[in-house]
């Protein structure tokens, strides 16, 4: 990685880190933390779905595993919350690898893979809803004990910085993937699996690595969710709402790009919040906005917001250097 790869990540992280110095209202910080948690989970989805082209409809399986793992470890086994965070992340990676092993080994691709992941998430949701050690339908309540050692903070801003640090770390991870052999092979598998195999790419191994990484990152976001709200149940942790959130954000922001998931999460939740402010009476207005944005993105911005910006930039550059005649050609 070169300085040019790192500078945008550093600048954005620093700017985002300064935000709590300006904004101190609790609802706004709440919104920002939640938005960043979604962005983090979406970054996980993007590693597998964006770079690897394996569209999962069931990333709730990983989100929920992260959330339940940390909650159960703390409640039943007295594990420290920070250790719980690490173990939850590892658990997400393991669950990812297992689901990947079962589905990729049998050659599932495309919509079949999507359906299988959806099924896994649903099975987990039903099991978590029924088993006693997951608290059944009543869910799990992490004990309120505000100490840094317990990963609970007096000041919401501290939690915001913590989540932001993880988002920044995953931005770096994603940038590394983009610049590494692993990333090149992963993208090759997405574009054409047979051609990749002929060039010596072990496509099964590459996909397994991707889903394990993806599961770990999304589990981390689930763990942070549990730690922030201190309550989870099966419909929150393993619910299909989170699967949809996690794939919507990268699709809106830009699939297979480093910043796509963050941009998408910010856009969706930002617009959703604004809509709520203006039409607070109408329940579900933010979801209507989500739907509208998705339709717009699919119709006008294939490649998401970042893809759209890039095309506009290329078009602008084309005007300057090549003259307008070739622009339409280049813009295809």
Partner 1 sequence: MLAVEGVSKRFGGLMAVDSATLSLQPGGIIGLIGPNGAGKTTLFSMISGFIAPTDGRIRFEGTDITAEEPHRRAERGIGRTFQIVQPFAGLTVCENIAVGAYLRHAKRADAIAKAREVARRVGLGAELDRPAGGLTVAGRKRLELARALATEPKLLLLDEVLAGLNPSEIRDIIPVIRGIRDEGVTILMIEHVMQAVMNLCERVYVLAQGRMIAEGPPAVVCADTRVIEAYLGHGAAARLKAEGAAHG
Query: 138 or 199, CB closer to partner 1?
Result: 199
Task: Tell which phi-psi region holds residue 53, choosing left (phi > 0), alpha (psi between -120 and 50) or beta.
Answer: left
Among 7, 192, 292, 317, binds partner 1 (CB under 8 A): 192
For the bound state, the minimum distance from the C-beta of residue 260 to partner 1, rounded and expressed in Å, comes to 15
User: Shortest Cβ distance from residue 297 to partner 1 (Å)?
Assistant: 18
107: its two tokens = 């050659």
Shortest spacing between CB 315 and partner 1, in angstroms: 16
Determine if 203 is a binding residue for partner 1 (CB under 8 A): yes
Note whether 187 binds partner 1 by CB under 8 A: yes
Q: How far is the CB of 117 from partner 1 (least distance, A)?
A: 23
Residue 199 makes contact with partner 1 by CB under 8 A: yes
One residue of 4, 194, 300, 320 binding partner 1 per CB under 8 A: 194
The CB-of-114 to partner 1 minimum distance in angstroms stands at 20
Stretch that binds partner 1, among 58-66, 134-142, 198-206, 282-290 (CB under 8 A): 198-206
Residue number, 22 or 198, with CB nearest to partner 1: 198
Residue 184 makes contact with partner 1 by CB under 8 A? yes
Of the pair 51, 68, the CB lying nearest partner 1 is at 51
Task: Give the residue with the Cβ less far from partner 1, 195 or 274.
Answer: 195
Q: Using the rule CB under 8 A, is 198 a contact of partner 1? A: yes
* Nearest residue (CB) to partner 1, 200 versus 323: 200
The structure tokens 């929150």 sit at: 236
Contact by Cβ (8 Å): 171, 262: yes
Single residue of 78, 200, 280, 283 touching partner 1 by CB under 8 A: 200
* Lookup: tokens for 296: 């717009």
Q: Which of residues 83-122 bind partner 1 (CB under 8 A)?
A: none
Residue carrying structure tokens 């796509």: 260
Nearer to partner 1, 14 or 195 (CB): 195
Cα 228 → chain centroid: 17
Minimum CB distance to partner 1 smaller for 134 or for 178: 178
CA-CA-CA-CA torsion sign (136, 137, 143, 149): positive
Least distance (Å) between residue 192 CB and partner 1: 5
Three-state DSSP string of the chain = CCHHHHHHHHHHHHHHHHHHHHCCCHHHHHHHHHHHHHHHHHHHHHHHHHHCCCCCCCCHHHHHHHHHHHHHHHHHHCCCHHHHHHHHHHHHHHHHHHHHHHHHHCCCCHHHHHHHHHHHHHHHHHHHHHCCCCCHHHCEECCCCCCHHHCCCCCHHHHHHHHHHHHHHHHHHHHHHHHCHHHHHHHHHHHCHHHHHHCCCCHHHHHHHHHHHHHHHHHHHHHHHHHHHCEECHHHHCCHHHHHHHHHHHHHHCCCCCCHHHHHHHHHHHHHHHHHHHCCCCCCHHHHHHHHHHHHHHHHCCCHHHHHHHHHHHHHHHHHHCCHHHHHHHCC
Closest CB to partner 1 among residues 178, 227: 178
Contact call for residues 233 and 135 (beta carbons, < 8 A): yes
179 contributes a contact to partner 1 by CB under 8 A: yes
Nearer to partner 1, 281 or 332 (CB): 332
Total site size for partner 1, rule CB under 8 A? 19
Q: Measured from the CB of residue 163, what is the shortest distance to partner 1 in angstroms?
A: 30
Applying CB under 8 A, the residues found at the interface with partner 1 are 179-181, 184-185, 187-188, 191-192, 194-203
């Amino acid at each position: 990685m070169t300085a040019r790869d790192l500078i945008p990540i550093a600048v954005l992280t620093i700017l985002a880190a300064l935000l709590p110095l300006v904004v101190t209202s609790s609802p706004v910080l709440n919104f920002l933390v939640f938005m960043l948690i979604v962005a983090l989970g979406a970054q996980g989805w993007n590693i597998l779905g964006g770079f690897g082209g394996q569209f999962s409809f069931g990333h709730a399986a990983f989100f929920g595993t992260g959330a339940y793992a940390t909650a159960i470890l703390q409640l039943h086994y007295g594990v420290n919350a920070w250790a719980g965070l690490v173990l939850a992340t590892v658990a997400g990676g393991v669950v990812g690898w297992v689901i990947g092993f079962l589905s990729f080994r049998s050659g599932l691709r495309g919509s079949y893979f999507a359906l299988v992941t959806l099924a896994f998430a649903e099975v987990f949701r039903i099991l978590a809803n029924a088993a006693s050690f997951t608290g059944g339908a009543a869910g799990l309540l992490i004990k309120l004990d505000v100490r840094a050692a317990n990963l609970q903070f007096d000041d919401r801003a501290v939690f915001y910085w913590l989540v932001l640090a993880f988002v920044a770390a995953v931005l770096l991870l994603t940038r590394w993937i983009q610049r590494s052999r692993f990333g090149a092979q992963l993208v090759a598998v997405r574009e054409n699996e047979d051609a990749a195999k002929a060039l010596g790419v072990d496509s099964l191994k590459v996909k397994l690595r991707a889903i394990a990484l993806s599961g770990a990152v999304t589990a981390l976001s689930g763990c942070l969710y549990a730690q922030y709200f201190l309550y989870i149940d099966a419909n929150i942790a393993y619910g299909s709402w989170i699967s949809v959130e996690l794939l919507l954000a990268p699709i809106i922001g830009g699939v297979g790009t480093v910043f796509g998931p963050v941009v998408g999460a910010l856009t969706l939740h930002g617009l959703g919040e604004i809509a709520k402010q203006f039409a607070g009476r109408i329940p579900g207005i933010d979801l209507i906005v989500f739907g509208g944005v998705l339709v717009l993105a699919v119709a006008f911005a294939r490649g998401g917001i970042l893809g759209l910006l890039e095309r506009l930039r290329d078009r602008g550059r084309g005007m300057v250097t090549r003259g307008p005649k070739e622009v339409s050609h280049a813009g295809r």
